[in-house]
Structure 1
Amino acid sequence: MAAEHVPGGVRASWLVVDAETAEVLRRHEERHRFRSASLVKPLIALDHLRRGGEPSAADRALLEPMLRSSDDDAASELWDRGGRERIVHRTVAEIGLTGTEPPRDPDMWGYVVLTAADVVLSLRHLRTAGAAGEFVLEQLRHFTRHGTDGFDQSFGLPASGADVDALKQGWSGFGLGPNEEPAEPAAERRAIPDERIDLERPAMHTSGLVRRGDRLLVVAVCTLHPAGTGWDTAAGTITELVRSILD
């Protein structure tokens, strides 16, 4: 898909590679930096498993919903346990990521800085990361249609008609999900400025492994949308992008 076909007001980057050979099949600004939203969750899980070994029942109670249904409470618990920014430093060193950095605000795992290129590299790494990587991939193969927050996470890759083998979605800036209630008392949280990434516009990302004939592809598409864009509009936009990219 040509860059000029990206809808006006939308910032998008993508990378598609062959999982086995690393041949680049599609690319566009794949090193542009975005806030991660939930795309950081596989890194949180991999780091936890690398340090803890075989997951206990208590570990699974956090890891499975975090990876399958993008559970934020589980991510926050594991983020704190792992030392927050130290998780990012360890996984960057292990995988060889070049565009991924910790957030300015250590409380905000969703503001980790990453690129589509690093998401693809991370997904490829999981396939060679032994038992820890296979555990993460197995959970991503059992993705649920809805996130724990109630948002429909079937946008992008699964909605495009692609044969999805494993999936991790990300979103930020769309307000509370259908299953969420405002905290009491309601409080405004002021974001710490970060010149590296856009913290304002709604972000929606789709990534995973896709089967195409006898090939396994690794795909990451990251997007930012105009302020005020609703969920359905952003989901439709990124789904059409994916269809065009994989066509």
Structure 2
Amino acid sequence: MRHHRLAAVSAALLLTGGAAGSATAAAPAGPARPAAASAEVPAGVSAGVAVFDRQTGAFTEQLNTSTRFRSASVVKVLIALDHLWGLDHAPDSDRAWLEPMLRASDDGAASAYWSDRGGAAIITRMVDRLGLRDTAPPPGGYEGYWGYTALSARDTVTIYRYLLDSAPSPVRDFVLGNLRQSTRCATDGFDQHFGIAGAFEKPWAVKQGWSGSSYEKGTCGPPRTAATARTRSAGPAAATDVDLTRPALHSTGTVGVGDRSIVAVFTLHPVGTPYGKAYTDIGRLARSLNVPGASRPAGWRFGTWSDHVNVRPGPGTGNAPITQLPAGVEVLVGCQARGEVVNVPPYTNEWWAYLPQYDGWISNIYVNSPDNKMPDVKDC
């Protein structure tokens, strides 16, 4: 049964920017892009991008590299490095705080270190130590908001180059080792495997950042009754050269065997942008980049519709969900199979999509496709 449902078309328009009534609005994006190109910034998005190839010592992408963005949780790398400065290893007593801060972007840990180590003085010290050019502490009146630290794409590359090339090897291995174990679900319930983590196969190491009043509360992981707010990475806007108003979504880290490429992608989105839309847009931007050493996942990308779509361990509803999708997000589909019949009146569908990046399944009823069975996608 063909089902051009209005909700699906609306979600497709949100993801693609298509015109109302377009026959192609709900069409799949096609096979995952096998080759790279210069940065393609989605409409309405402001971006700062840098990709540095450590093998050649040259940048392959540079776009607004000195533009300063509020860092959101990317600053947690600097907080960790400041705490470990002068040490030749990460003390066992710190692992209970540092590991969740780096892997799951835990805000409580960041706030504790920020308070204990002098707040803005952390940034001042790290600017001097690493020779950062654009990084600055939060503006006056917002000293407690560590997420308002100003950071640029080129300074982010400098930070990762220090980690890879100059930091004591136990510190390097500890910090990057935790970033390689980035959890899909952050402590506050947001799905943080956007950008680099969604565009490229492992090995990668990532530190992500997000901040925006329009972002719905996180629903990543098993269904939750409530989500913890990001306590210190958001706040009222201030008069500053760093935009504190538009929703931010950032993806930074290393990609490829031997951490060949350093990637920094900073994005700001129009006021009111939902998390799933920003997640999709930064993913499209990341996939467009020329990232030496990167391996790109195979599959087909489709938009989804509805809120809190459950990702299941198999093509049926008998088992508890693994996680839930950000509302309206674009997903990578590896294959499809018949499974339990799902009814969302007036629609019915027995086909399920396998999402390799989640190692789970969603009913095709929530996929923006012109038919119950997605065109061109292979059977599992």
Q: TM-score, normalised by structure 2?
A: 0.59
CA separation of 1:90 and 1:190: change in aligned 2, threshold 3 A: closer
Output the amino acid matched with 2:116.
Answer: R
SS at match of 1:27: strand
Give yes or no for the alignment of 1:177 onto 2:221: no
Cα-to-partner distance string for 1:13-58 (whole Å, 9 max, x where unaligned): 1000012543111111111110000110010001001156643333
Partner of 1:129: 167
Partner Cα distance (2:200, 2:132) in 1: 30
CA separation of 1:94 and 1:215: change in aligned 2, threshold 3 A: closer
Output the amino acid matched with 2:190.
Answer: F
- Given that 2:189 and 2:228 are in contact with CA atoms closer than 8 Å, whether structure 1 keeps it comes out as no
- Given that 1:9 and 1:225 are in contact with CA atoms closer than 8 Å, whether structure 2 keeps it comes out as yes
Number of equivalenced pairs = 240
SS at match of 1:44: helix
Q: CA deviation at 1:162?
A: 4.1
Partner of 2:45: 10
SS at match of 1:246: coil
Partner of 1:232: 276
The worse-fitting range, judged by mean Cα deviation, of 54-63 and 166-175 is 54-63
Give yes or no for the alignment of 1:26 onto 2:61: yes
Q: CA deviation at 1:2?
A: 5.0
Unpaired segments ≥5 residues, structure 1 = 184-188
Q: CA deviation at 1:71?
A: 0.4
CA separation of 1:2 and 1:102: change in aligned 2, threshold 3 A: same
Output the amino acid matched with 1:65.
Answer: P
Q: More helix by proportion, 1 or 2?
A: 1
SS at match of 1:237: helix
Partner of 2:286: 242
Partner Cα distance (1:54, 1:48) in 2: 11
CA separation of 1:190 and 1:65: change in aligned 2, threshold 3 A: closer
Q: CA deviation at 1:91?
A: 0.8
SS at match of 2:138: coil
CA separation of 1:224 and 1:50: change in aligned 2, threshold 3 A: same
Larger RCO of the pair (alpha carbons < 8 Å, separation 6+): 1
Partner Cα distance (1:175, 1:142) in 2: 25
Partner Cα distance (1:16, 1:246) in 2: 8
* Residue identity (%): 43
Q: CA deviation at 1:69?
A: 0.5
**Of residues 93, 102, 114 in structure 2, which corresponds to 1:67?**
102
Q: CA deviation at 1:220?
A: 0.3
Output the amino acid matched with 1:167.
Answer: V
Cα-to-partner distance string for 1:186-207 (whole Å, 9 max, x where unaligned): xxx9636141211111000001
- Over the residues paired in the alignment, what is the CA RMSD in angstroms? 2.2
The worse-fitting range, judged by mean Cα deviation, of 17-26 and 103-112 is 17-26
Output the amino acid matched with 2:218.
Answer: G
Give yes or no for the alignment of 1:201 onto 2:246: yes
Partner of 1:210: 255
SS at match of 2:118: coil
Cα-to-partner distance string for 1:81-107 (whole Å, 9 max, x where unaligned): 111111101111111100000001110
Q: CA deviation at 1:6?
A: 1.9
The worse-fitting range, judged by mean Cα deviation, of 221-230 and 122-131 is 122-131
SS at match of 2:84: helix
Partner of 2:207: 168
Partner Cα distance (1:41, 1:176) in 2: 21
The worse-fitting range, judged by mean Cα deviation, of 156-165 and 203-212 is 156-165
